[in-house]
């Protein structure tokens, strides 16, 4: 069966600097895949190119068999991708509910929008309590809930989450990963991009290790964390883990 998302030799350049160097990866339907790597490995650049927020310098992005490489961002969303950007990027001057409704922007069927809203409120009761509050007044954890909830509003086939743990307290990070695990077990395909590799590889089935814009290792998530290159990518090549 063809993968839901296929990235072939993706290249991203900022001016003359090439930051993503021929990355290829696949996400099959129902999978939870993690792209892990240290800070500065250019994980986010891959996602931004995938979402059409930066133009790729080369390669192809294929979603559901359709080549979206040169298509605008909204066509990816219309094609079934939900995106939780790094740093949440909620709309601070809009209320919680309006932020959520913004996520359903591409959904024309009002009944479907209301169903999605009810589902998000069922997953995140805290958001329902604060539905009329301005998004900028939420705590970091609540803002992350809002960002995930907003991405779920369009009932995506593939949920892409960028650095879910960033800036969150350890207890909230655990809750966030439990939630991702729950969504995945309910049948959602998930692509996680995460600096916290240990947590990410606990919930993922397959992993890619990124270093300096290149995938240097890929395999079953359970096999990756013990690999010598994995430690090297995070701490340097001469480090030994006891």
Partner 1 sequence: MNYWAVLATTVGIWVLLALSLNIITGEAGQPNIGHAAFFGIGAYTSAVLNTKYGVDFWGALVMALAAGALMGAVLGLISMRLRNDFLAITTIGLNFVTVAIFQTVPYFGGAMGIGGIQPPRIGGLTFGPVELAVLSWLVVALVVILNRHLQRAWFGYALRAIRDDEAAAAAMGIDVRRYKVLAFVIGTGIAGLAGSIYAHFMTFISAGDFGFNISVTILAMVVLGGRGSIPGVLLGGVILGMAPEVFRFISDYRLLVFGSILVLVMRFFPSGLLGQGSRLQELLAGAFRREGAGVRVR
Quote the least distance from Cβ 151 to partner 1, whole Å: 8
Residue 40, judged by CB atoms within 10 A of its CB (0-12, 13-18, 19+), counts as exposed
Quote the least distance from Cβ 163 to partner 1, whole Å: 14
Contact 37, 210 (CB under 8 A): yes
> Is 17 among the residues that bind partner 1 (CB under 8 A)?
no
Contact 161, 181 (CB under 8 A): no
Alpha helices in 57-169 (DSSP H): 73-78, 96-103, 110-123, 125-129, 140-152
Q: What is the DSSP string of 37-77?
A: --TTS-HHHHHHHHTTSS--SEEEEEETTEE-TTS-HHHHH
> Is 103 among the residues that bind partner 1 (CB under 8 A)?
yes
Contact 97, 110 (CB under 8 A): no
Lookup: tokens for 19: 């930051």
30-59 binders of partner 1 (CB under 8 A):
48, 51-53
Quote the least distance from Cβ 16 to partner 1, whole Å: 19
Quote the least distance from Cβ 147 to partner 1, whole Å: 9
> Is 83 among the residues that bind partner 1 (CB under 8 A)?
yes
Q: How many other CB atoms sit within 10 Å of the CB of residue 202?
A: 14
Quote the least distance from Cβ 46 to partner 1, whole Å: 14
60-79 binders of partner 1 (CB under 8 A):
72-74, 76-78
Judged by beta carbon, residue 94 or residue 216, the one nearer partner 1 is: 94
> Is 105 among the residues that bind partner 1 (CB under 8 A)?
yes
- CA 163 from chain centre, in angstroms, equals 7
145-174 binders of partner 1 (CB under 8 A):
150, 154
Judged by beta carbon, residue 21 or residue 98, the one nearer partner 1 is: 98
Where do contacts with partner 1 occur on this chain (CB under 8 A)? 48, 51-53, 72-74, 76-78, 83, 85, 89-95, 97-98, 101-103, 105-106, 108, 110, 113, 132, 150, 154
């Amino acid at each position: 069966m063809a993968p839901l998302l296929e990235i072939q030799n993706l290249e991203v350049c900022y001016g003359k600097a090439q930051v993503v160097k021929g990355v290829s990866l696949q996400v099959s339907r129902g999978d939870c895949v993690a792209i892990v790597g240290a800070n500065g490995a250019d994980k986010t650049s891959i996602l931004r190119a995938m979402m059409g927020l930066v133009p790729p310098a080369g390669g192809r992005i294929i979603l559901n068999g359709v080549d979206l490489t040169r298509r605008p961002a909204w066509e990816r969303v219309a094609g079934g991708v939900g995106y939780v950007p790094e740093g949440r990027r909620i709309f601070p001057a809009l209320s919680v509910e309006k932020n959520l409704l913004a996520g359903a922007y591409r959904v024309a069927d009002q009944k479907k929008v209301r169903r999605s809203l009810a589902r998000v409120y069922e997953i995140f009761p805290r958001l329902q309590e604060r539905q009329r509050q301005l998004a900028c007044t939420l705590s970091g954890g609540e803002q992350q809930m809002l960002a995930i909830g907003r991405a779920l509003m369009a009932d995506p086939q593939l949920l892409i989450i960028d650095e879910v743990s960033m800036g969150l307290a350890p207890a909230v990070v655990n809750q966030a990963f439990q939630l991702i695990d729950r969504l995945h077990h309910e049948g959602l395909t998930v692509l996680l991009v995460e600096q916290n590799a240990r947590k990410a590889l606990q919930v993922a089935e397959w992993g890619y290790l990124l270093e300096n814009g290149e995938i240097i290792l890929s395999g079953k998530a359970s096999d990756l964390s013990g690999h010598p290159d994995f430690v090297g990518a995070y701490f340097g090549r001469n480090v030994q883990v006891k």
